[in-house]
């Protein structure tokens, strides 16, 4: 009796095992296939752009000069790099890893392979796998060439000019922006939801191939949450951490971990070693103390702290500026110019700041030109609004187009709403567009929190002051 029961159970176990074995090839086949996005840049461009951005990054961020820590992170990184699926390997790329002495839980990678891991991220991770998860995610952005794919999209809208602009933008995303060159691009370019999901999925696949449990990438979101948020470039505001957690765990079901590494004692030793150093500054503190930008002539000093929310009323006295070669504007004289070239901002004290290392504008106006092939003003404007929406998921149009004039030309006015990523507050955006004689779209964007109506008058005065000599 007893024996028979055991036998029956053994039979059941064998049957379940057999079913699992049979099912396995299908499970493995079910892992998500990732593809490249269209990219007009060459692989060498990635390398070139990344090298330039890396130079900038290393001038702005203090590196932790500890060879033991660096070489440990390098070893983890190279293990992940070796696990990149062959279709996403590029022999031109050179992955290397450095540690930034900053307390934010963050890491970022640049096109072609330079990667920077914050000391705060190593501190926060509960085991090597969690740290490796963030690194695998960042490596995936590089392997999938997301930086130049994003720049391909942006260039279509004329928001970037040349390699320098792209490097500035790429650096602007995760860390400190090249504001003097491309303030608007910094505001607008973040990886899209789609790119973030792809980097999570490929990251999970790389982890499994490297011997890490891919669920540790998902776990890192909870670890970051427990530590009170942060996460900067890694913890993008889209998709939500909950969605990302679920999606990675779903993918993990289809992944078999090759030669599991288990927990390494080395990780604990490196954490211990880091605790021996004085507290690291945050990225924002670093930017405040050692800031080197903007380097342009007209830019003067400007606040580098997170937007305070306390902003002076726009002055009734106005000051003239000549921008974009052929445009004159008057703006309240308590606003200052940030940036030059194809895109400039005029902002009041406190209406601009850094959030998670990114430039954020809460109050002010921006002027710029956008390339378009569309001779129809409304369609060119549609195209431009779509380009804005790609980097700002909360952006919604709240009005149709209304005819107006700008600089004596026929123009379109439209109202949009957004949720500011730094303050979490709803904001109103006013967009006015007109076409220049060379076919480019000229735009004015005005931004203010929804409950601060006193900016509307200033925006109207600014708009009516525009003179276009073209």
For Zn ion, the binding residues (CB under 5 A) are: 196, 199
Give me the least distance between CB of 191 and Zn ion, in Å please. Answer: 5
Q: How many CB atoms lie within 10 A of CB 334?
A: 15
What b/e sequence results for 59-75 when a residue is b if at least 16 CB atoms lie within 10 Å of its CB, and e otherwise? ebbeebebeebbebbbe
Q: Which is nearer to Zn ion, 188 or 455 (CB)?
A: 188
Q: Which is nearer to Zn ion, 45 or 196 (CB)?
A: 196
Q: Which is nearer to Zn ion, 108 or 352 (CB)?
A: 108
Give me the least distance between CB of 141 and Zn ion, in Å please. Answer: 6
Give me the least distance between CB of 115 and Zn ion, in Å please. Answer: 12
**Pairing of β 396-397 and β 402-406:** unpaired
Residue with tokens 């973030």: 196
Q: Which is nearer to Zn ion, 131 or 377 (CB)?
A: 131
Give me the least distance between CB of 342 and Zn ion, in Å please. Answer: 27
Torsion of CA 146, 85, 222, 98, to 10 degrees: -70
Q: Write phi, then psi, for 200 (nearest 5 degrees).
A: -65, -45
CA–CA distances in Å: residue 22 to residues 17, 26, 27, 252: 9, 8, 9, 19
Cis peptide before 294 (omega within 30 of 0): yes
Residue with tokens 């060459």: 42
Q: Which is nearer to Zn ion, 233 or 339 (CB)?
A: 233
Q: Which is nearer to Zn ion, 199 or 344 (CB)?
A: 199
Give me the least distance between CB of 302 and Zn ion, in Å please. Answer: 28
Give me the least distance between CB of 163 and Zn ion, in Å please. Answer: 22
d(CA 447, CA 434): 18
Q: Is 455 helix (H, G, I), strand (E, B) or coil?
A: helix
Selection from 413, 416, 440 nearest residue 426 by Cα? 416
Give me the least distance between CB of 93 and Zn ion, in Å please. Answer: 17
Q: Where are the beta strands (DSSP E) in 111-170?
A: 114-118
Q: Which is nearer to Zn ion, 199 or 422 (CB)?
A: 199
Give me the least distance between CB of 244 and Zn ion, in Å please. Answer: 10
Q: Which is nearer to Zn ion, 196 or 342 (CB)?
A: 196
Q: Which is nearer to Zn ion, 184 or 234 (CB)?
A: 234
**Pairing of β 402-406 and β 409-419:** antiparallel
d(CA 117, CA 156): 32
d(CA 127, CA 129): 5
Give me the least distance between CB of 25 and Zn ion, in Å please. Answer: 31
d(CA 85, CA 79): 13
Q: How many CB atoms lie within 10 A of CB 225?
A: 15
d(CA 452, CA 311): 10
């Amino acid at each position: 009796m007893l024996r028979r029961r055991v036998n029956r159970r053994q039979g059941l176990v064998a049957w379940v095992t057999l079913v699992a074995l049979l099912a396995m090839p299908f499970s493995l086949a079910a892992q998500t296939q990732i593809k490249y996005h269209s990219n007009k840049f060459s692989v060498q461009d990635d390398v070139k752009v990344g090298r330039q951005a890396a130079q900038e990054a290393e001038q702005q961020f203090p590196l932790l000069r500890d060879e033991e820590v660096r070489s440990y992170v390098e070893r983890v990184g190279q293990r992940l790099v070796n696990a990149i699926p062959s279709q996403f390997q590029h022999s031109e790329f050179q992955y290397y890893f450095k540690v930034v002495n900053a307390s934010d839980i963050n890491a970022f990678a640049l096109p072609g392979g330079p990667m920077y891991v914050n000391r705060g991220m190593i501190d926060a991770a509960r085991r090597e796998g969690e740290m490796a998860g963030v690194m695998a995610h960042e490596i995936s952005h590089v392997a999938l060439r997301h930086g130049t794919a994003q720049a391909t999209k942006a260039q279509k809208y004329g928001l970037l000019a040349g390699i320098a602009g792209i490097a500035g933008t790429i650096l602007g995303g995760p860390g400190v922006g090249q504001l003097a060159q491309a303030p608007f691009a910094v505001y607008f370019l973040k990886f899209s939801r789609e790119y973030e999901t792809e980097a999570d999925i490929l990251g999970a696949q790389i982890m499994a191939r490297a011997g890490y449990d891919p669920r540790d990438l998902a776990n890192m979101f909870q670890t970051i949450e427990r530590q009170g948020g942060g996460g900067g470039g890694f913890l993008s505001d889209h998709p939500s951490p909950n969605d990302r957690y679920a999606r990675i765990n779903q993918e993990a079901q289809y992944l078999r971990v090759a030669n599991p590494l288990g927990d390494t004692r080395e990780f604990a030793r490196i954490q211990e070693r880091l605790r021996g150093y004085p507290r690291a500054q945050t990225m924002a503190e670093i930017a405040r103390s050692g800031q080197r930008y903007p380097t342009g002539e007209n830019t003067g000093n400007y606040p580098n702290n997170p937007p305070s929310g306390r902003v002076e009323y726009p002055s009734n006295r106005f000051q003239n500026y000549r921008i974009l070669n052929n445009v004159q504007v008057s703006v309240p004289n308590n606003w200052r110019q940030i940036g030059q070239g194809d895109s400039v901002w005029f902002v009041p004290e406190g209406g601009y700041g850094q959030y998670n290392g990114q430039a954020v504008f809460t109050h002010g106006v921006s002027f710029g030109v956008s390339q378009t092939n569309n001779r129809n003003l409304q369609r060119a404007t549609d195209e431009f609004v779509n380009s804005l929406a790609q980097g700002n998921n909360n952006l919604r149009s709240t009005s149709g187009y209304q005819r107006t004039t700008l600089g004596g030309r026929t123009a379109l006015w439209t109202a949009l709403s957004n949720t500011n990523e730094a303050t979490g507050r709803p904001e109103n955006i006013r967009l006015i567009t007109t076409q220049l004689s060379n076919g480019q779209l000229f735009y004015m964007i005005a931004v203010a929190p929804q409950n601060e109506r006193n900016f509307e008058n200033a925006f109207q005065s600014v708009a009516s002051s525009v003179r276009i000599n073209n």
